[in-house]
């Protein structure tokens, strides 16, 4: 929700702005903050929600007039079809949300964004769009029946979670039709006290998500029927979780393969050695061949990430020869001796 509730301020326009100026301002700011152009950016998402709310109100002359007259309470006035109730202080909640919200997890609150309700925004100017999209579910904001909204959200996982899979419990908030007024926003001709005239109430919901083994950055998990509720007995929408993997402090992911840098001592490189190398499942013994070069990659077959349809990728260990910063007297003497007797000429 935007911090400023003054819709004119949100859109950066004067109070006497013409309708096309409102649309122009909205489009300009939407280009900057649209969630599809700023994936995973919570701040942009919040900004955009505020913009949408402001545009929804100001782009419809009737609503704009009520807003100009009654400010934030315009919706209650509209719902009550009369003067605002005395002492009314309730903040109107957008009617657009029908999808889950989440709390406590890094998970987009797209409830008010309402992805499915495209095509019939008020204010005109979308006629071509309306013409092209017709008939099916999830269309109009004003529809009172139809499939629930599909909801999209982001879910951040560790590399280990993506590799092994598992369960995640997500705390969500779901907007549902108000049980008191049945979603009309009115009770006995007055704004419903339960929902403040919004027609919706938010209730907490917990869902357990099965994270499949082999999920990757950019994968999407679909939870059928976990999106917005359908109205009048219609089927609910789906929940789409877009997966983002947190950068791993040790491994670099390259498709199904993992890459790790392994420091080795100069003598280990020259003489060869058995060293411990990290893998996603723990440490394994790795044989460094004699005469190993810095940057050389050694493959640990089948030690990469679990693949979606079985099998595993490989791990590549990139050797990095490091030299000691400080050497004691004995080490120095040995290096000097080596320098004297060695025939190795790296620059020839």
Partner 1 sequence: MWPSDFDLDEPLTFDVVAATVGAKRTLVARLAKQGLIETVDSGTDEPLLPRRVVVHLRRMQRLRRDLGVNFAGAAVILDLVGRIEQLNRELAEMHRRLK
Rounded to a whole number of angstroms, the minimum distance from the CB of residue 78 to partner 1 is 23
Counting contacts by CB under 8 A, is residue 164 touching partner 1?
A: no
- Which residue number, 42 or 187, has a Cβ lying nearer to partner 1? 42
Q: Which C-beta is closer to partner 1: that of 194 or that of 252?
A: 252
| Helical (H) or strand (E) element with 166 | strand 166-177
| Closest among 107, 82, 80, 15 to 54, alpha carbons compared | 15
Choosing from 226, 279, 303, 306, the residue that interacts with partner 1 (CB under 8 A) is 226
Q: Is 332 in the site for partner 1 (CB under 8 A)?
A: no
Report in angstroms how near the CB of residue 286 gets to partner 1 at its nearest: 20
Which among 269, 287, 282 has a CA at the least distance from the CA of 323? 269
Of residues 3, 14, 31, 274, which one binds partner 1 by CB under 8 A?
31
Q: Which of 118, 141, 298, 314 binds partner 1 (CB under 8 A)?
A: 118
Residues 34-73 that bind partner 1 (CB under 8 A): 34, 36-37, 39, 52
**In terms of C-beta density within 10 A (0-12 exposed, 13-18 middle, 19 or more buried), how is residue 291 classed?**
exposed
In angstroms, the CA 228 to CA 88 distance is 29
- Please, which of residues 280-319 interact with partner 1 by CB under 8 A? 308
Say whether residue 255 binds partner 1 (CB under 8 A): no
Cβ atoms of residues 24 and 41 within 8 Å? no
- Smallest distance from the beta carbon of 271 to partner 1, in angstroms? 28
Q: Give the nearer residue to partner 1 in terms of CB position, either 209 or 298.
A: 209
Question: Binding to partner 1 by residue 215, rule CB under 8 A?
Answer: yes
C-alpha angle 322-328-331 in degrees, rounded to nearest 5: 65
How many angstroms separate the CA atoms of 238 and 222, rounded? 7
Specify the residue, 73 or 94, whose C-beta has the smaller distance to partner 1: 94
With a CB cutoff of 8 Å and minimum separation 6, the contacts of 225 are: 235, 236, 237, 238
In angstroms, rounded to a whole number, what is the distance separating the alpha carbons of residues 109 and 63? 26
Does 224 participate in binding partner 1 (rule CB under 8 A)?
yes
Show the tokens assigned to 130: 């309306």
- Chain contacts with partner 1 (rule: CB under 8 A): 27, 30-31, 34, 36-37, 39, 52, 115-116, 118-119, 121, 126, 129, 132-139, 147, 150, 152, 167, 207-212, 214-215, 217-226, 240, 247, 249, 252, 261, 308
């Amino acid at each position: 929700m935007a911090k400023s509730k003054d819709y004119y301020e949100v859109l950066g326009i004067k109070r006497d702005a013409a309708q096309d100026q409102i649309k122009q301002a909205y489009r300009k700011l939407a280009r900057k903050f649209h969630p599809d152009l700023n994936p995973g950016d919570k701040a942009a998402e919040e900004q955009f929600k505020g913009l949408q709310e402001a545009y929804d109100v100001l782009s419809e002359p009737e609503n704009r007039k009520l807003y100009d007259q009654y400010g934030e309470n315009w919706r209650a006035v509209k719902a009550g079809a009369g003067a605002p109730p005395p002492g009314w202080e309730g903040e109107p909640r957008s009617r657009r949300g029908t999808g889950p919200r989440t709390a406590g997890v890094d998970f987009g609150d797209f409830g008010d964004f309402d992805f499915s309700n495209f095509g019939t925004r008020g204010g005109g100017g979308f006629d071509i769009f309306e013409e092209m999209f017709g008939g099916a579910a999830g269309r109009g904001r004003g529809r009172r029946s139809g499939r629930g909204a599909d909801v999209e959200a982001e879910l951040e996982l560790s590399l280990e979670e993506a590799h092994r899979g598992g369960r995640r419990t997500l705390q969500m908030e779901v907007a549902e039709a108000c049980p008191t007024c049945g979603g009309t926003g009115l009770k006995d001709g007055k704004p419903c006290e339960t929902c403040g005239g919004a027609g919706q109430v938010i209730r907490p919901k917990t869902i357990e998500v099965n994270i499949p083994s082999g999920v990757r950055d950019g994968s999407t998990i679909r939870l059928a029927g976990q999106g917005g509720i359908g109205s009048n007995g219609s089927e609910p929408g789906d929940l789409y979780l877009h997966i983002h993997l947190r950068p791993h402090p040790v491994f670099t992911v390259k498709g199904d393969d993992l890459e790790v840098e392994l420091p080795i001592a100069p003598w280990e490189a020259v003489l060869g050695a058995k060293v411990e190398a990290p893998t996603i499942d723990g440490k394994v013994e790795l044989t460094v061949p004699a005469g190993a070069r810095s940057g050389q990659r050694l493959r640990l077959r089948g030690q990469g990430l679990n693949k979606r349809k079985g099998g595993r990728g490989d791990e590549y260990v990139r050797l990095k020869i490091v030299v000691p910063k400080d050497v004691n007297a004995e080490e120095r003497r040995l290096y000097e001796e080596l320098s004297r007797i060695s025939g190795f000429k790296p620059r020839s």
